[in-house]
Amino acid sequence: MKLFIPVTEEKGLQSPIHGHFGSAPIFLCVDTESKTFETVHNDDKAHAPGACNPLKAIGGRAVDAVVAGGIGMGALTGFRKAGIRVFHAGGGTVADALSALASGGLPELDRQASCAGHDAGGGGCAHS
C-alpha cells in the first residue's frame, strides 16, 4: 500500500506526523510493504483556508491512502472523489502510524472529523 503522510520534518520513518495535511512543510510517500519512502516538499502550504489542492500535493503519484493528524473538508472531499482513503493519526511518528494501520487501529476520517480551522500556529486543527 502507498501512503501519503504530512510530516513536520524529514526523519525517515521516525518523522513526526504534522497536525494538518495542507499546512505540512513536507510529506512522505511511504510504501508499506518495502518501508521505503520518498520525501515531497509542500509547495502549496501557504494556501488560503479551504483552497488546498490535495491532488496537486501528491503530484500524480499512485497513492492508496493518506494518513494525517487533521485535514480540511475540501481536501478530504478531493481525496475521496479520487478514491483515496484518509486515515486519522493523532500524533506520533510515521512508524507509529504504520503499525497502527497494520493492526486496524487508525480510524478513517469522515465529514464530521474534518478540520474546521487552524490554530494560530497554522499546524493544528480546531475540531474536537
Q: Is the pTM of this model over 0.75?
A: yes
With cell 500535493, the residue in question is: 57
User: CA torsion sign, 91 to 83 to 39 to 14?
Assistant: positive
pLDDT value at 75 more than 90: no
Confidence of residue 115 (pLDDT cuts 50, 70, 90): low
Q: How many CA atoms lie within 13 A of 27 on its CB side?
A: 30
| Domain map (residue ranges) of the chain | 2-113
pLDDT 10s digits, 31-40: 999 989 999 9
- Report the candidate in 92, 94, 58, 60 with the shortest Cα–Cα distance to residue 75: 58
The residues, any chain, with a CB within 8 Å of residue 34's CB and separated by 6 or more, are none
pLDDT 10s digits, 80-111: 999 999 999 988 999 999 999 999 999 998 65
Report the distance separating Cα 95 and Cα 113, nearest Å.
Answer: 23
CATH node for 2-113: 3.30.420.130
